[in-house]
């Protein structure tokens, strides 16, 4: 695996690979890789001969009181893990390469960013859309793979890629989970032993809601209340939101209909650590 640090070199490589008739898939990450990221790299191999993983902890997507400074970083470990998963190139620019002095652009995606993460983390999705647009312009891939774990982010990126005519296939890969159900995340390293044990309540709340839907529940508020009740069984948890919505546009009808594809979304604090998780469900017909 070769490490590339500049946009110019990345673009040149991309042009050369394309001239050789090779397909390129890109896996954007902020590093501190785990099995979830590795599954995205493996998945990328299904779409292209060449996989480029990007590693950049993007300051513009962190709020002023968020964890940019303490976000876990380990370049050597990331290189080894990416290579072991079959990554061909690691694009790892520094901050000035991505945001040189005088940088003044922004990318704002409306509507799909109005609620949930967009509401709780003002500016977060501007930063995500901006950096992903820049990474796309550096790597110029045919396809790019993102994890379902950041569900609203996947909607934002699909919208951005469509609106700005990137012509890149956006592929969403399922969330990888620990054996007890906790969604894999670089931020799980912040959890104390007790918080780590308690954190599986997010997965349990999603499962409870899914069971209720399987049992015939269609009322959005009732589904949300089931998630809240399960989450509150861990008194230390601070719920940010636990909501259900239509998966395509995050609309929130009072009642879901048979055949609707919905997403159950949770964000909650375990101590100082903010965790998110989600689950996709299709409302069954005939109940």
CB nearer to ligand PAF: give 98 or 234: 98
DSSP per-residue string spanning the chain: -EEE--HHHHHHHHHHHHHTT--EEEEEE-SS--HHHHHHHHHHHTT-SEEEEEE---GGGS-TTSSTTTS---HHHHHHHHHHTT--EEE---HHHHS-TT--------STTSSHHHHHSTTHHHHHHHHHHHHHHHH--SEEEEETTSHHHHHHHHHHHHHTT---EEEEEPPPB-TTSPBP-GGGGG--HHHHHHTTHHHHHHHHHHHHHHTT--BHHHHHHHHHHHHHTSTTEEEEEEEEEETTT----SB--TT-EEEEEEEEEETTEEEEEEEEEEPPS--
Residues in contact with ligand PAF by CB under 6 A are 28-30, 58, 61, 128, 131-132, 150, 153
CB of 29 to ligand PAF, least distance (A): 5
Measured at CB, which residue is nearest to ligand PAF? 28
CB of 254 to ligand PAF, least distance (A): 32
CB nearer to ligand PAF: give 38 or 237: 38
CB nearer to ligand PAF: give 98 or 226: 98
CB nearer to ligand PAF: give 29 or 244: 29
Candidate list 37, 124, 142, 228, residue with the active-site label: 37
CB nearer to ligand PAF: give 108 or 257: 108
Concerning whether 37 is annotated as a catalytic residue, the answer is: yes
CB of 193 to ligand PAF, least distance (A): 26
Q: Which residues are catalytic?
A: 37
């Amino acid at each position: 695996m070769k490490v590339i640090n500049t946009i110019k070199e990345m673009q040149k490589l991309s042009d050369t690979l394309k001239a050789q008739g090779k397909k390129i898939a890109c896996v954007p990450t902020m590093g501190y890789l785990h099995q979830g990221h590795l599954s995205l790299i493996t998945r990328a191999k299904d779409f292209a001969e060449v996989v480029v993983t990007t590693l950049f902890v993007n300051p513009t997507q962190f709020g002023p009181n968020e964890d940019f400074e303490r976000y876990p970083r380990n370049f050597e470990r990331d290189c080894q893990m990416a290579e072991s998963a079959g990554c061909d190139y690691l694009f790892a620019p520094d901050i000035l390469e991505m945001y040189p002095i005088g940088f003044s652009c922004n990318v704002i995606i409306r509507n799909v960013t109005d609620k949930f993460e967009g509401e709780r983390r003002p500016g977060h999705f501007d930063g995500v859309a901006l950096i992903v647009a820049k990474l796309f312009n550096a790597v110029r891939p045919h396809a790019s793979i993102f994890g379902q774990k950041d569900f609203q982010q996947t909607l934002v990126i699909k919208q951005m890629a469509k609106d700005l005519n990137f012509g890149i296939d956006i592929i969403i890969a399922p969330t990888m989970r620990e054996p007890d159900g906790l969604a894999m995340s670089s931020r799980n390293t912040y959890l104390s032993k007790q918080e780590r044990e308690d954190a599986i309540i997010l997965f349990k709340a999603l499962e409870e809601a899914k069971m209720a839907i399987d049992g015939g529940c269609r009322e959005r508020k009732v589904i949300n209340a089931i998630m809240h009740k399960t989450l509150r069984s861990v008194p230390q948890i601070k719920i940010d939101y636990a909501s259900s919505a239509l998966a395509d546009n995050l609309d929130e009808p009072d009642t879901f209909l048979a055949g609707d594809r919905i997403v159950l979304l949770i964000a909650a604090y375990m101590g100082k650590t903010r965790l998110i998780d989600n689950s996709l469900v299709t409302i069954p017909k005939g109940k």
